[in-house]
Amino acid sequence: MNPVIDLLKSHRSIRKFTDQPVSKELLKELIRAGQGAATSSHVQAYSVIHVKNSENRQKVAELAGGQAYVSTCGAFLVFCADMKRPTDAAEHTGAQVVRGMTEQLLVATVDTALMAQNVAIAAESIGLGICYIGGIRNNPQQISDLFSLPDHVYPVFGMCLGYPADQPDVKPRLPVEAILKEDTYQDDRDQVAAFDETMHAYYQTRSSGHKDSTWSKNLTPLFSTKLRSHMRNFLVKRGFELK
Amino acid sequence: MNPVIDLLKSHRSIRKFTDQPVSKELLKELIRAGQGAATSSHVQAYSVIHVKNSENRQKVAELAGGQAYVSTCGAFLVFCADMKRPTDAAEHTGAQVVRGMTEQLLVATVDTALMAQNVAIAAESIGLGICYIGGIRNNPQQISDLFSLPDHVYPVFGMCLGYPADQPDVKPRLPVEAILKEDTYQDDRDQVAAFDETMHAYYQTRSSGHKDSTWSKNLTPLFSTKLRSHMRNFLVKRGFELK
């Protein structure tokens, strides 16, 4: 439709990078582009840790479940939902502030994601590849300790950035008719069934191996266990009390 | 730096639109671009309600706190975090599934935000204006009733789309040095103080009025009350049990 929309539709996670580093100046430009995203009531409830220290990169790679590219990519960022800065700012005006609301967790999480997605698009627009690392929530307390994150700040996800050494296929997505519903929530089991076939064919034809699976089957291990059941207590302990 | 980055940095919320409608075909193209965003473990945990019914548009405008443009913009979308589709899909494979985890709330909320931001960028790339509507969380239960949202689906935010009839200033953002921290979380009170001055000057020179405020002062009412204190119970009731 236009080059921007083509770019948005061509995203794939990159997990192999060349040795070329990503400069601090470029990172700042990407973050500035990130900051252009909408922010709820202008709170800008996010901070980003640029992990330069190579030992820490290695530790994060391990904590995130052995994702070596966290340590080898051109730059690694930890995106944090930050309710400390805006609530502290309000408090410094002399106000009595309320913290720990579930609504504040949502605001900060959404703000962080909108901003990060702008960073991802900006990076891809100049030929970088990126990969979100949700695995940092495997060990959010250790991640928080590693970067001295204060209360009211939590690590939402990481992001690997770098010059791609690989160009994997763009993974199929659910039919748009499953996602976009008119006026009322409609059942989408038929579209899911069609998508299971799409994914089955995709897995069969991939050059990297012939997996006999579907979208639904692939999701099963994800929802058969209490994945990251520590998140609730972790958030509460860090001042996101879910009030 | 390049036209995409220029676009990302030129976002402003649009609240005045021409009468030109946004076609269904265009909306589908925007949602497809949205689906290009990264999604945690491929869950695609989102659904979007396209609100065509004008009575419902009017109701949402009121429920969101009297935001008339919800009713008058070219198209209005409700972005929902949807954990029903992926958990149902896993269940239909015969698995015993776990629902209601706090982690699942985060995954679905982030997935929805990443996707929505792609929609916003796609829309702006073709000359549309957008405005996120967090105000739908003022009355999330009524919004859910209006669109028959099932359990494990919640409305995160709305989005107005349309052809802009106004081009407001791009609002300043915090200094990039406050956001991007190196290796460890650093205090950013100095940058916040500088930004308070930036915002004070911005409010003084705006054509739409001369407000005597700063960023910190502006945030004070937001954090002085238990804003949207219903969110916790609402989420729990809808199957996001924060386990």
Same domain, A157 and A203: no
Same domain, B183 and B220: yes
b/e map of A10-38 (b: 16 or more CB within 10 Å)?
ebbebbebeeeebeeebbebbbbbbbbbb
Token look-up 């009412």 returns: B221
- Spatial contact of A124 and A161, defined as CB atoms under 8 Å apart: no
The answer to the question of residue B38 being in a domain is yes
- Spatial contact of A9 and A124, defined as CB atoms under 8 Å apart: no
Average pLDDT over residues B20-33: 97
CA distance A223 to B83: 10
The closest of B190, B187, B209, B186 to B198, measured between CA atoms, is B190
**One-letter amino acid identity for B19?**
D
> CB B5 to CB A53 under 8 A?
no
The answer to the question of residue B239 being in a domain is no
3-class secondary structure, B13: coil
Alpha-helix runs per DSSP H in chain A: 3-9, 24-35, 54-63, 69-72, 84-92, 102-125, 140-146, 176-179, 189-205, 215-224, 231-237
CA distance A30 to A37: 12
> CB B1 to CB A29 under 8 A?
yes
Output the furthest CA–CA distance in chain A (Å, rounded).
63
CA distance B1 to A142: 37
Tokens (6 digits) for B227: 């804003």
How many domains does chain A fold into?
A: 2
- What are A102-135's pLDDT values in tens digits? 999 999 999 999 999 999 999 999 999 999 999 9
Same domain, A17 and A124: yes
The answer to the question of residue B65 being in a domain is yes
**One-letter amino acid identity for B3?**
P
Å between B155 CA and nearest CA of chain A? 11
Chain B residue with minimal CA distance to A183?
B51
B1 touches chain A (CB under 8 A): yes
Same domain, B129 and B219: no
- What are B99-121's pLDDT values in tens digits? 999 999 999 999 999 999 999 99
Same domain, A18 and A86: yes
> CB A227 to CB B101 under 8 A?
yes
Same domain, B128 and B14: yes
What CATH number did the domain enclosing A53 receive? Answer: 3.40.109.10
Average pLDDT over residues A82-106: 98
Same domain, B212 and B155: no
Average pLDDT over residues B148-164: 98
pLDDT over threshold 90, residue B97:
yes
Tokens (6 digits) for A212: 């006999």
The answer to the question of residue A241 being in a domain is no
- Spatial contact of A119 and A159, defined as CB atoms under 8 Å apart: yes
pLDDT over threshold 90, residue A207:
no
Average pLDDT over residues B169-175: 97
Chain A residue with minimal CA distance to B9?
A36
Taking CA A86 as the corner, what is the angle to CA A85 and CA A87, rounded to the nearest 5 degrees? 95
Residue range of the domain that includes B195? 171-225
Same domain, A116 and A16: yes
Average pLDDT over residues B31-43: 98
pLDDT over threshold 80, residue B35:
yes
The answer to the question of residue B231 being in a domain is no
Q: What are phi and psi of A112, to 5 degrees?
A: -65, -40
pLDDT over threshold 70, residue A86:
yes
- What are B182-193's pLDDT values in tens digits? 999 999 999 999
The answer to the question of residue B31 being in a domain is yes
Give the whole-number percent of chain A exceeding pLDDT 90.
96
* End-to-end C-alpha distance for chain B, whole angstroms: 45
* B 123-142 → A contacts, CB under 8 A: 125-126, 130-132, 134, 137
Task: Select from B4, B80, B114 the Cβ nearest to the Cβ of A113.
Answer: B114
Adjacency order of strands within the sheet including B180-182: A129-133, A153-162, A75-82, A46-50, B180-182
Same domain, B120 and B206: no
Same domain, A136 and A148: yes
* Model pLDDT, residue B210: 74
pLDDT over threshold 70, residue A161:
yes
Task: Select from A27, A148, A219 the Cβ nearest to the Cβ of B185.
Answer: A148
Tokens (6 digits) for B117: 């931001």
3-class secondary structure, A225: coil
pLDDT over threshold 70, residue B87:
yes
- What are B71-81's pLDDT values in tens digits? 999 999 999 99
CA distance A173 to A180: 13
- Spatial contact of A33 and A122, defined as CB atoms under 8 Å apart: yes
The answer to the question of residue B105 being in a domain is yes
- Look over chain B and give the mean of its residue pLDDT values, rounded to a whole number: 97
Mutant choice from A143, A219, A234, A236 vs B, greatest count of B C-beta within 10 A? A219
Average pLDDT over residues B203-224: 89
* A 11-50 → B contacts, CB under 8 A: 11, 13, 27-29, 31-38, 40-44, 46-50
The band of B205, judged by pLDDT with boundaries at 50, 70 and 90, is: confident
- Spatial contact of B122 and B31, defined as CB atoms under 8 Å apart: no
Residues of chain A found within 8 Å of residue B98, distances taken between Cβ atoms = 223-227
Average pLDDT over residues B211-236: 96
The band of A210, judged by pLDDT with boundaries at 50, 70 and 90, is: confident
A236 touches chain B (CB under 8 A): no
pLDDT over threshold 70, residue B194:
yes
CA distance A37 to A112: 10
Same domain, B22 and B129: yes
Helix-then-strand count for chain B, H and E: 11, 5
The closest of A181, A77, A188, A67 to A122, measured between CA atoms, is A77
| Number of A–B residue contacts, CB under 8 Å | 352
The band of A196, judged by pLDDT with boundaries at 50, 70 and 90, is: very high
Same domain, A141 and A190: no
Average pLDDT over residues A61-79: 97
pLDDT over threshold 90, residue A20:
yes
Chain A residue with minimal CA distance to B39?
A132
3-class secondary structure, A202: helix
pLDDT over threshold 90, residue A1:
no
